Structure 1
Amino acid sequence: MQALRVIRVAVPVPLHGTFDYQVAPEASPTIGARVQVRFGRRPLVGVIVAVDVDSQVAIDRLKPVIAVLDDQALLDDAVLKLLRWTARYYHHPLGETIATALPAALRRTRSEQDTNRNRGWQASAEPPTEAEAALSRAPRQRELLAVLRDADHPIAHSTLLARFPAAQKPLKTLAERGLIEAVELPGGLETGSAGQAPELTEDQHTVIERLRTAEGFAPALIEGVTGSGKTEIYFQRMADVLAAGRQILFLAPEIGLTPQLIDRLRSRFAAAIGVLHSQRSDGERADVWKAAAAGEADIVVGTRSAVFTPMPRLGLIVVDEEHDGSYKQGDGLRYHARDVALKRAQATACPILLGSATPALETLHNARAGRFAYQRLARRATGAALPQIKLIDIRSRPLDGGLSDPLISRIRPHLEAGNQVMIFINRRGFAPALACHDCGWIAPCERCDAPMTVHGGGRRLICHHCGANADAPAACAACGAANLVSLGAGTQRVAGALRSHFPDVSIARFDRDSMARKGRLEAQLADVASGTTQLMVGTQMLAKGHDFARLTCVGVLDVDGGLFSADFRATEHMAQVVTQVAGRAGRADRPGEVWLQTRNPEHPMLTRLLSGGYPGFAEAALAEREATALPPFGYLALLRAEAHEAQYPHDFLAAAADTIPIDGELACWGPVPAPMARRAGRYRAHLLLHAARRSLLHPVLDRWQYQLAELPGARRVRWSIDVDPQDLI
């Protein structure tokens, strides 16, 4: 009888290290394959990271593997190395790091059944004549049939539902009538068709030729003003890579940007395209992931976690809107997808393109230091002029739903000319707070150090931090007065004020509340593109990636929040949002203008942004960062702790601070209460480490990841390490 073998498994538990198990020799375990094991009393799915190991535990004391789930490696050697690096850099357990890389269906022993996950639709080659005549009173069926007939390839069921939210029943009826037929799509992929490339501008041509000379690992920043044609530069390089038989990973920051991107890719490339984001079912994501790993997907488009997708023929990585905060994971494994993508490109020796109209200061610093190639597009591809940005000083001015009279007067002529107007306010709901006009009481969240946000025109209170909600009170809880007023404005209140001023104009609101239903965003964007919607009110989901040909006026209601914040990155984010929002205006043959409402028109960063654009702002901001030794001129790690008792996080972090060898190049700031000291009923505190060099910071964190669990009070708190934190709130 052959002896049992020992394998080492990365198990998805919050413990550093890997664990040994015994396995029968006939099982043929492979590094990178999944196994089902028992950890404590729980059955879990882990990944084999070593076989035939010399365990420190006697083999007869090791638990046996319950089942080997894969005949061959699910994660190849390149992705496993990337995941090991990610776990080391972000000081996170390897098992949880690997679990983050796997689609949810592959973290279980059996995938959920999903009957539609591989289904596509195509128009019937020989449809019954009488069936089409019956469509005269079925406009949605006619529209779907026209879309399928115009396409020269099957369209995925999920894609049609994303574009037409109510398409489920019409598709079934069309199929019953014999007008369309279902087809199976391989691995959840869609096949595009070769399209004609547009004529390049001189600037685009110059950038593309420079990029084509690069070989191997070649990071390049493409900084281009909004509308300068960065996407076409991506597409030209993608065509080169596809022609060479290589795969492409295309990262986008948000789900809202992917439908338009997929449409463009599908109409441009005769290639197998896979899409990975959270609105696809678990089964669909698992299918695309496995197809990419098998080399069947030519292009993979996805949000943050797609950076870990196995791609054996990887030849190019594109990170669009590289500055976007959505690339940073906010909990668990707090990785930054842009930085992981750079590491992956380096390990794979392939080029990577980072594109943005408003690059992150860290990326811009790397480009200026020569670590990245730096290409800049200063003109729009259409030749259209950049919009003028002007300030409206709202000090001492009355506001109607957040709108000043000068802004309303500027909106009117644009609407009367048949153009479109966008009003941007990065605050959803009706108003930020409900207050008593008599005594000043503000309706608080009982679980957070924050006021409740007013929703539904004043009828409902919702906490945007913990989700608590309640009916708005009829009287003040402090003095009993019934004189309650809503303070400030959110998207709901702004939209209501605009309806009162422009009752005959179609208005659409874009925020997380109004776009919660699947397919709603796509439907609203289609109305904007057709001109049906003339006036838009929205949050950051309107700020980037959209091309509205009729949009000529943009109003930004509150830029002051970004000028005064506890987070040192706030002014950078303000400048990026203003620049991105302003870039939506005047992109076609109609000139645009942008108006910023502010109570601080003399603020130096605001005036620098207006006088020098984002490049001028970035120059001043980098000088300020250098003077204060903040990133990218210093390196940070944030230790967070929270508990139900206020003293526990402080005591734990104080003990952690005592373990730090402080010197001239390594500093420890805190512990201090978090800017929002209580959230969701838990008290929060921060300890910030600052190092002049990255090589000083990580040895401390290496020790910490083992020491912290042994500190006094560690079991009384929930703690986490955040390397290169993007949010200090």
Structure 2
Amino acid sequence: MPSPAHTAISGPLSYACERPLAPGTLVRVPLGRSEVLGVVWSCAAQPPANVPAASLRSITADLSGLAPLSAAWRQLVEFTARYYQRGLGEVAVAALPPALRSLDAEQLQRRLRRRAAAAHDTTAASPRRGTADSEPPPLSAQQQAALAQIDAEPGPFLLFGATGSGKTEVYLRSAQALLERDASAQALVLVPEINLTPQLEARFSARFAPRWGDDAVVSLHSAMTPAQRLRAWLLAHEGRARIVLGTRLAVFASLPRLGLIVVDEEHDPSYRQQEGARYSARDLALYRGRLEQAKVILGSATPSIESWYHSRPGGRYRRIDMPERIGAAPQAQVRRIDMSHQPRGAVLSPPLVEAIAERVRRGEQSLLLLNRRGYAPVLHCPDCGWKSDCPHCSAHQVFHKIDRTLRCHHCGFTQRVPRACPSCGNLDIAALGRGTERLEEHLAERLADVRRPDGQPPRILRIDADSTRAQGALEAALDQVHAGQIDVLVGTQMVAKGHDFRRITLVAAVNPDGALFSSDFRAAERLFALLVQAAGRAGRAGESGPLGQPAPSEMWVQTFHPAHPLFEALRRYDYPAFAESELAERQAAQLPPFGHQALLRAEARSQEAAQAFLTAAAARAQAEIPEYAAGVTLYGAVPQTIARVARVERAQLLVESASRRALQAFLAAWRPWLLELRAQPEHRAVIRWAIDVDPPSI
């Protein structure tokens, strides 16, 4: 079936049923020549006036073994479809686990009977204990104050806490207080990255499973198998799972007794869905909390600029400050290295190399951050100017030295490295730029004469999307770091946030300058957040290092622009000053949160066809949609930053308004015209189109 976003199927379909069904009931229904999962949205005694009763097809079966999805869940789905301009059925069905979509009524009943029997056996064999296995750590004064405020006020809350200030313990205690007050209450805890879920799940399970049972804590994320996701979803839907941990898709989990929502690292762009319904899980969490009277806690050391704005005095959020690290451990001292004063072409400045070597000699760990994987971003021929461009995308293929391949990180196209320049035959083709592979190799060369306290050479480990591709590779790598088996960790942003590394005393950002002058107005915000998160990996063990001696932690930044205001704010860990500066710039330009945006995106086999569709859509809006006059601005169609991916050309058109209400009214009126426009013969070359509301980047 085509996606409802690109067809006229955007609302509920009508079916006949022998008996009334409660709204929210899951059913199997015929659609075309196939049978699909559906959700009963409403039940009427008579068919709609424009639908002849004789033409209605009958529901195949209702999945009566499951309780209907709640009215609040359906309202969340309706809001998502309406706000993000998607089909209601598309959002509803995508929010359900894939395995559930393929089960018929009989298969579901068998599965539920097996689960009920297994649950009965588990309960009989392992009765719940009254207390946890281990006592929780004592609370700091600022944690106690935060919990008192959360208990006393309705929220939503912005927990603005330094890295290492104990925000996770506040989440744990808040969930514990909820479960102790209400025997059937549930909590939802969202995290931005899948690789952060296992360690957080272990911590929540250790706290709650001994008292509330092994099924009390479940995870929901896309890396789980379909069977695992279905089991976790059913436990949550039945109310047996008391705490659900998950990535953005978990915001749609069926939780009938939801009382608390936590969004950890709320600023992280990973909360934004990039395909299909392009929703923000953070924003939907706030809406869901208001809808179900559940308290919402947004946590971050570097909140999004929008959240910071809304938490100012008199704003929609209540800000809770936690500026001190647990144990009074100081923040890593920020040192800026002016690379214009270092040897020409230096990857790592000599002072930084010596600082890393000194950590190795003392038995401490260092982390080097370079947000670019591979060996080099591009191969280049100095004779004719050839570059390793991807034949299917408007991007370079990245050189990976380990397996001697060129890979496109956009479409996945891979080929062997040529022996000579394909254009002129020159044998001397060179790598331009550096990725994590090359940095790992270079670091090994620079530390070749350095020795650990036991006399062994330093051990260097790289963690990025390439080195952790295999199942369990990331967990194994992190275990080595935690066990002290690694001296220097080289990685991308995967290792810069959320991990509790107790032995790292030095963190270095190797080449952060690229984001300083980006055309994306959110680039500086993301860079500042990344650097603060990376700095937070250092010095988490307190004032003493792993061997007991004083070990002050440091954050080194290699830059050609050491006087840039962003690095000055980083040196002081002054996020409020940075945020207020960003807000002033955005207010002057009427950018979010002072203005509101949407993008109309189009994909076609040619850039001309994509832009022609967008241009025609803008002309239609200006001529025939009254809502256009209500303060909405349409800009011209332009290619996207990466204009071609997998031989598909991509273009976009920006829509802006100072009023969110006016923008939504315009988009709702525009969408039917876009469906009609797409069906016209002159626009058949358009493969797909989508409206992206509140786009994370322009």
Are the counterparts in 2 of residues 20 and 62 from structure 1 also a CA contact under 8 Å?
no
Deviation per residue, 1:403-461 (Å, 9 max, x gap): 23232122111111110000011111111000012232211000111111000248210
| Residue identity opposite 2:42 in structure 1 | A
User: Of 625, 644, 648, which residue of structure 1 is paired with 2:605?
Assistant: 644
By how many angstroms is 1:561 displaced?
1.4
- The SS at the match of 2:321 is strand
Which residue in 1 is equivalent to 2:527? 574
Which residue in 2 is equivalent to 1:428? 373
Matched, 1:603 2:564: yes
More strand as a share of residues: 1
By how many angstroms is 1:112 displaced?
10
Matched, 1:669 2:635: yes
Counterpart-to-counterpart distance in 2, 1:404 and 1:58: 77
- The SS at the match of 1:618 is helix
By how many angstroms is 1:611 displaced?
4.2
Which residue in 2 is equivalent to 1:685? 651
Count of matched residue pairs: 651
User: Of 23, 47, 69, which residue of structure 1 is paired with 2:39?
Assistant: 47
User: Of 290, 298, 322, which residue of structure 2 is paired with 1:346?
Assistant: 290
User: Of 55, 59, 63, which residue of structure 2 is paired with 1:65?
Assistant: 59
By how many angstroms is 1:14 displaced?
4.9
- The SS at the match of 1:395 is helix
In structure 1, runs of 5+ residues without a counterpart are 1-9, 120-153, 157-182
- The SS at the match of 1:102 is coil
Are the counterparts in 2 of residues 13 and 96 from structure 1 also a CA contact under 8 Å?
no
Counterpart-to-counterpart distance in 2, 1:488 and 1:715: 41
By how many angstroms is 1:716 displaced?
2.2
Counterpart-to-counterpart distance in 2, 1:457 and 1:11: 43
Percent of aligned pairs with the same residue?
A: 41
| Residue identity opposite 2:332 in structure 1 | P
Counterpart-to-counterpart distance in 2, 1:422 and 1:583: 11
- The SS at the match of 1:727 is coil
Moved more, 40-49 or 100-109: 40-49
Which residue in 1 is equivalent to 2:11? 18
Are the counterparts in 2 of residues 430 and 489 from structure 1 also a CA contact under 8 Å?
yes
Deviation per residue, 1:289-340 (Å, 9 max, x gap): 1121111111111111111111121111111111111110001011100100
Give the direction of change, closer, same or farther, for the CA distance of 1:214–1:70 in structure 2 (3 Å limit): same
Matched, 1:700 2:666: yes
By how many angstroms is 1:244 displaced?
1.3
Matched, 1:33 2:25: yes
- The SS at the match of 1:403 is coil
By how many angstroms is 1:509 displaced?
1.1
User: Of 386, 391, 394, which residue of structure 1 is paired with 2:331?
Assistant: 386
Give the direction of change, closer, same or farther, for the CA distance of 1:458–1:485 in structure 2 (3 Å limit): farther
Which residue in 1 is equivalent to 2:436? 491
The correspondence of residues 158-177 of structure 1 with structure 2, limited to 5 A, is none
By how many angstroms is 1:683 displaced?
1.0
By how many angstroms is 1:667 displaced?
1.3
| Residue identity opposite 2:97 in structure 1 | P
Which residue in 2 is equivalent to 1:134? none
By how many angstroms is 1:487 displaced?
0.8
| Residue identity opposite 1:627 in structure 2 | A
Moved more, 400-409 or 487-496: 400-409
Are the counterparts in 1 of residues 190 and 246 from structure 2 also a CA contact under 8 Å?
yes
Counterpart-to-counterpart distance in 2, 1:339 and 1:194: 36
Which residue in 1 is equivalent to 2:135? 196
| Residue identity opposite 1:675 in structure 2 | T
Counterpart-to-counterpart distance in 1, 2:650 and 2:661: 29
Counterpart-to-counterpart distance in 2, 1:212 and 1:496: 52
Query: Under a length normalisation based on structure 2, what TM-score does the superposition of the two structures give?
Result: 0.89
Counterpart-to-counterpart distance in 2, 1:454 and 1:104: 36
Are the counterparts in 2 of residues 382 and 587 from structure 1 also a CA contact under 8 Å?
no
- The SS at the match of 1:385 is coil
By how many angstroms is 1:20 displaced?
3.7
User: Of 229, 232, 256, which residue of structure 2 is paired with 1:285?
Assistant: 229
- The SS at the match of 2:621 is coil
- The SS at the match of 1:658 is helix
- The SS at the match of 1:596 is strand
RMSD: 2.6
Counterpart-to-counterpart distance in 2, 1:13 and 1:647: 20
Which residue in 1 is equivalent to 2:454? none
Are the counterparts in 1 of residues 334 and 570 from structure 2 also a CA contact under 8 Å?
no
Are the counterparts in 2 of residues 401 and 497 from structure 1 also a CA contact under 8 Å?
no
Are the counterparts in 2 of residues 112 and 283 from structure 1 also a CA contact under 8 Å?
no
User: Of 226, 233, 241, which residue of structure 1 is paired with 2:163?
Assistant: 226
- The SS at the match of 1:522 is helix
Counterpart-to-counterpart distance in 2, 1:605 and 1:265: 36
Matched, 1:85 2:109: no
Are the counterparts in 1 of residues 29 and 60 from structure 2 also a CA contact under 8 Å?
yes
Which residue in 2 is equivalent to 1:4? none
| Residue identity opposite 1:652 in structure 2 | F
Which residue in 1 is equivalent to 2:303? 359
Which residue in 2 is equivalent to 1:480? 425
Which residue in 1 is equivalent to 2:94? 100
Which residue in 2 is equivalent to 1:626? 587
| Residue identity opposite 1:719 in structure 2 | W
Counterpart-to-counterpart distance in 2, 1:694 and 1:214: 27
Moved more, 509-518 or 12-21: 12-21
Deviating beyond 6 angstroms after TM superposition, the runs of 4 or more aligned structure 1 residues are 10-13, 111-115
| Residue identity opposite 1:489 in structure 2 | R
Give the direction of change, closer, same or farther, for the CA distance of 1:209–1:194 in structure 2 (3 Å limit): farther
Counterpart-to-counterpart distance in 2, 1:552 and 1:375: 28
Which residue in 1 is equivalent to 2:685? 716
Are the counterparts in 1 of residues 12 and 41 from structure 2 also a CA contact under 8 Å?
no
Deviation per residue, 1:13-55 (Å, 9 max, x gap): 85443344443415x5332122222222332222111112532
Which residue in 2 is equivalent to 1:251? 190
| Residue identity opposite 2:88 in structure 1 | L
Which residue in 2 is equivalent to 1:562? 515
By how many angstroms is 1:623 displaced?
1.0
User: Of 516, 535, 542, which residue of structure 1 is paired with 2:469?
Assistant: 516
User: Of 326, 329, 334, which residue of structure 1 is paired with 2:278?
Assistant: 334
- The SS at the match of 2:574 is helix
Counterpart-to-counterpart distance in 1, 2:6 and 2:181: 41
